[in-house]
């Protein structure tokens, strides 16, 4: 049996190493995972109460249209419910977008480096990814505009960008949208939206009315701490939602995830707390990077991307042996670390300092 041509050469997604995997492999009892941009504070305790109420409802199919959650979400975002589509993680909304708008012969413009699922989704549909290098770690909007052709269907803007953490400002984005041809959809992936504190960050929802061709992606996996449930969503014009609904699986968001998300949304003080702690964590991490003379990009999400100036794989293995999991593979010497709790960041920074200093010592002895 031969699989379809468009998926030949596609690598399966490589997730960060799991805690259990690392504990087993290295015989460690304590491991800190700062590799997948998860929330170190978990989720709101209200979620546990909501799950309790689901105990006797597990044999029922979930509400396929997620009416209650959509109502609450629409209220929270101050948008019309008809503008919302839910997914099994925003990963699935990315897949739905590709399935709905791409076919062989179409092109899709994205940054190089950015979130890897855009390219995978595009390729699976037999369409062509067009990659535009980042400029100082940020989307190069001028070059992305120049890469648009009559065949372009989707342009992806990851804001903040994973893995670099940089943002595109409201002004730059509005100007970009003004110059986008009508046949092109612009996806604004805002998985880390709730972490951003920079005042220049776009108020993307306010742009929806004037730009029927934008789709905003958000998720409950990051600051809401519900990654395990798999739930994310898209916000766009109702006409586009109708097209996307044609390809959505009928029960794509499970019942537990729906109830967990409703409860999590109600606890906005937890979100504010996590945002503040994250800011402190970024300051703690970047202070140490500066002390060590390591360059990093401005971090607007819940992770910091820096140049270790030694092979990333070496950093990864050294930290792993100390029970610390980070993410590499984004270029030879780059490392991405998720912001943890203060004591977790401390452990990581101490280990990193030890490695960097020992390498410098070795270099100066040569």
Contacting residues toward ligand PLP, per CB under 6 A? 37, 89-91, 115, 158, 162, 189, 191, 219, 221, 227, 232
What whole-number distance in Å separates Cα of residue 1 and Cα of residue 185?
35
Of 37 and 278, the one with the shorter C-beta distance to ligand PLP is 37
Rounded least distance, CB 249 to ligand PLP, Å: 15
Rounded least distance, CB 88 to ligand PLP, Å: 8
Q: What is the 3-state secondary structure (H, E, C) of 264-315?
A: HHHCHHHHHHHHHHHHHHHHHHHHHHHHCCCCECCCCCCEEEEECCCCHHHH
What whole-number distance in Å separates Cα of residue 26 and Cα of residue 31?
10
Handedness of CA 58, 60, 66, 71 (dihedral sign): negative
Of 97 and 356, the one with the shorter C-beta distance to ligand PLP is 97
Rounded least distance, CB 169 to ligand PLP, Å: 18
What whole-number distance in Å separates Cα of residue 73 and Cα of residue 58?
23
Q: What residue has token string 């042996």?
A: 321
Rounded least distance, CB 265 to ligand PLP, Å: 15
Rounded least distance, CB 227 to ligand PLP, Å: 6
Rounded least distance, CB 28 to ligand PLP, Å: 25
Of 37 and 347, the one with the shorter C-beta distance to ligand PLP is 37
DSSP structure class, residue 135: B
Of 125 and 189, the one with the shorter C-beta distance to ligand PLP is 189
Dihedral pair phi/psi, residue 282, rounded to 5°: -60, -45
Kindly give, in sequence order, each residue whose CB lies less than 8 Å from that of residue 264, ignoring residues fewer than 6 positions away: 43, 44, 46, 47, 220, 224, 225, 226, 270
What whole-number distance in Å separates Cα of residue 62 and Cα of residue 265?
19
Of 148 and 187, the one with the shorter C-beta distance to ligand PLP is 187
Of 28 and 124, the one with the shorter C-beta distance to ligand PLP is 124
């Amino acid at each position: 049996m031969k699989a379809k041509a468009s998926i030949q050469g596609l690598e399966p997604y490589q997730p960060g190493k799991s805690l259990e995997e690392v504990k087993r492999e290295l015989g460690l009892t304590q491991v800190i995972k700062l590799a997948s941009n998860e929330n170190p504070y978990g989720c709101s305790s209200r979620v546990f109460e909501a799950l309790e109420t689901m105990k006797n409802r597990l044999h029922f199919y979930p509400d396929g249209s997620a009416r209650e959650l959509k109502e609450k979400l629409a209220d929270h975002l101050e948008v019309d419910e008809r503008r919302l589509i839910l997914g099994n993680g925003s990963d699935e909304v990315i897949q739905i977008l590709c399935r709905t708008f791409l076919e062989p012969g179409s092109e899709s413009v994205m940054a190089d480096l950015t979130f890897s699922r855009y390219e995978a989704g595009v390729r699976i549909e037999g369409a062509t990814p067009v990659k535009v290098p980042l400029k100082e770690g940020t989307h190069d909007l001028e070059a992305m505009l120049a890469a648009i052709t009559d065949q372009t269907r989707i342009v992806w803007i990851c804001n903040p960008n994973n893995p670099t953490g940089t943002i595109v400002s409201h002004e730059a984005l509005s100007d970009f949208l003004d110059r986008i041809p009508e046949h092109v959809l612009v996806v604004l992936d805002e998985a880390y939206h709730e972490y951003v504190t920079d005042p220049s960050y776009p108020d993307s929802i306010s742009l929806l009315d004037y730009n029927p061709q934008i789709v905003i992606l958000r998720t409950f996996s990051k600051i809401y701490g519900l990654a395990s449930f798999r739930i994310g969503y898209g916000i766009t014009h109702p006409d586009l939602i109708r097209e996307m609904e044609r390809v959505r699986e009928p029960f794509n968001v499970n019942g537990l995830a729906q109830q967990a998300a409703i409860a999590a949304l109600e606890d906005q003080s937890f979100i504010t707390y996590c945002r503040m702690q994250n800011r402190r964590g970024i300051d703690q991490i970047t202070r140490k990077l500066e002390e060590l003379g390591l360059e990093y990009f401005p971090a607007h999400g819940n992770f910091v991307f820096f140049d270790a100036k030694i092979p990333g794989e070496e950093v990864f293995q050294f930290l792993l042996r100390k029970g610390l999991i980070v993410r590499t593979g984004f270029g030879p010497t780059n490392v991405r670390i998720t912001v943890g709790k203060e004591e977790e960041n401390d452990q990581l920074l101490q280990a990193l300092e030890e490695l960097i200093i020992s390498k410098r010592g070795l270099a100066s002895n040569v």
